[in-house]
Amino acid sequence: MSSRRLITPSERSKLDPFVVATGDASPRDQRDLMERPFFSLAKAKRTRPILYQAGDVSVEVYAVPEHGMATIWDADVLIWAASQIVEAENLGLKTSRFLRFTPYQLLIAVGRQTGARDYKLLKGALARLQATVIRTSIRHGEHWRRHQFSWINEWEECARRDGRIEGMEFVLPDWFYRGVIDRSLVLTIDPAYFRLTGGIERWLYRVARKHAGRQPRGWLFEVAHLHKKSGSLVRVSDFALQIRLIAAHQPLPGYSLHIEREGRRELLRILPAKLSTAPVDGAVEAFGTSHANDIGTSYATPSGLRTHALESNLESNLESNCRSGRARLADNAGSSAESSSTKHPSRRRQSLPLLGRTAGDKR
C-alpha cells in the first residue's frame, strides 16, 4: 500500500474568486450575529466556551488555547466582507465565498491604521476567526438540527521576497455567506461603530440596531437578560455597572440609553437618536489585542475583571428579545427592526490600491 498521504484540495480551487474592487461600501452586519453571543467581548484571550440556549435556538462557541476565541473586534472582518458582498451585488457583480483583496482595503474600511503592527494584528484576527468553532441551530435545514463551522474556512497571504504583502484571500463558511446574500438578514450599521472601543459597547450597539432600529419608541430590556444574551464572563452585578457607565457616557451612535427600574429589576431602554452619517476618520483599537487592565470595555472597573463560570443554559425556554411581563407588551409589541439593508445611491467603482505599498506606510 502506498504510504503517500491523500492531499485534500483547497476549497478555493472549486470557487471563483470575488475580487474586491467596489470602492466604498456602506457597513452592513448580519442579523443573526447582532444579538446572540457569537464572539468574546474581552480583549484578553478567552478559551472558556460560550454555551447559549433559548428555546430551540442554540449557540455554542469553542476556542483553542493557542489562539483563543474570536473577539467582537475580529468580527470587523466579517462586517467588512458582508458589506463588500452586498455592495457588489447591488452593482450587479458576481460574488462568492472566496474573497481576494488587499489588507489595505480592509484596514482602511474599518478605521484601522496601516502600519506593520496593524497587518500583524489582522493576521492574528484571521487566525482566531479560523480557529473558533461554532455550533448553532439558527437557520438549520428542515431535516438538520445543528450546523458546525468556523468563521473563515481558510486564508492565505501573498507576499513578495522583500516581505511586502501584495494581497490576501480567505473563504467564508456557507452559513455566513447565505445569511449575507439573503437581504432580509442584513442591516446597515453606522460607520461610527468602528470607533467604539469597548466590547460591551460594540455588542450593545448591535443589539440596539437589531431590535430598536429606527423605531420612535425604541426597545426595553431587562439588564439581567442582556447579560445572558451577551455571553460575558463577568458577574451580572459587574455587567450592570458597566451598562450604567455606558449609559452615562452615551457613546452609541444613533441611540440613547436610559436606565429604568421596576421594583428590584433594572431595565435598559434604547431609543433611536439622530443617526450619524459621518465617515470613519479615526483609528480604533486593534483586532482583539490583549491588554492587562482591559476586559473589552473602556469603562471597566476593577470588579469587572473577576470572571465566573457560565451556566450551560443561559436563558429561559423562551427567547424573548426583552424582559417578560406587562411592560414588554406595552413597549415592544408590534415592533421590529428593519428587515433589510438600506440601499444607497452611491455606486462608484474604484480600482484596487497599489499592491506595492510597504507595511509601514502611512495611509
Q: Which residues of 192-221 are buried (b: 16+ CB within 10 A; e: fewer)?
A: bbbbbbbbbbbbbbbbbbbbbbebeebbbb
Residues 6+ away with beta carbon under 8 Å from 34:
187, 206, 207, 209, 210
pLDDT given for residue 142 in this prediction: 62
Query: What is the arithmetic mean of pLDDT over 72-92?
Result: 94
Query: What is the arithmetic mean of pLDDT over 263-276?
Result: 86
pLDDT given for residue 170 in this prediction: 94
First to last CA, the chain: 56
pLDDT given for residue 287 in this prediction: 63
Model confidence at 307: pLDDT above 50: no
Model confidence at 132: pLDDT above 50: yes
Indicate the SS3 state at residue 71: strand
Of all residues in the chain, the percent with pLDDT exceeding 70 is: 68
The answer to whether the beta carbons of residues 75 and 40 sit under 8 Å apart is no
Model confidence at 160: pLDDT above 60: yes
Model confidence at 339: pLDDT above 80: no
Distance CA 28, CA 87 (A): 9
Model confidence at 293: pLDDT above 80: no
What burial class does residue 184 get, using C-beta atoms within 10 Å of its C-beta: 0-12 exposed, 13-18 middle, 19+ buried? exposed
What does pTM read for this prediction? 0.75
Residue type for 97, please? Answer: R
Distance CA 326, CA 342 (A): 33
Residue type for 70, please? Answer: A
The answer to whether the beta carbons of residues 354 and 259 sit under 8 Å apart is no
Higher pLDDT, 3 or 325: 3
Residues 6+ away with beta carbon under 8 Å from 322:
211, 219, 220, 221, 222, 225, 328, 331, 332
The answer to whether the beta carbons of residues 208 and 243 sit under 8 Å apart is no
pLDDT tens digits, 172-208: 999 999 999 998 899 999 999 999 999 999 999 999 9
C-alpha cell at 107: 484596514
Element of type H or E holding 127: helix 116-131
Model confidence at 42: pLDDT above 70: yes
pLDDT given for residue 169 in this prediction: 93
Model confidence at 148: pLDDT above 50: yes
Instruction: Give the distance, in angstroms, between the CA of residue 224 and the centroid of all CA atoms in the same chain.
Output: 22
Phi and psi at residue 51, to the nearest 5°: -125, 105
User: Comparing C-alpha atoms, which of 110, 105, 89, 155 is closest to residue 128?
Assistant: 155
pLDDT given for residue 12 in this prediction: 64
pLDDT given for residue 164 in this prediction: 72
pLDDT tens digits, 208-238: 999 998 888 889 999 999 999 999 999 999 9
Query: What is the arithmetic mean of pLDDT over 286-296?
Result: 42
pLDDT given for residue 13 in this prediction: 62
Residues 6+ away with beta carbon under 8 Å from 127:
67
If you average pLDDT over every residue of the chain, what do you get? Answer: 77
pLDDT given for residue 141 in this prediction: 60
Query: What is the arithmetic mean of pLDDT over 132-147?
Result: 81
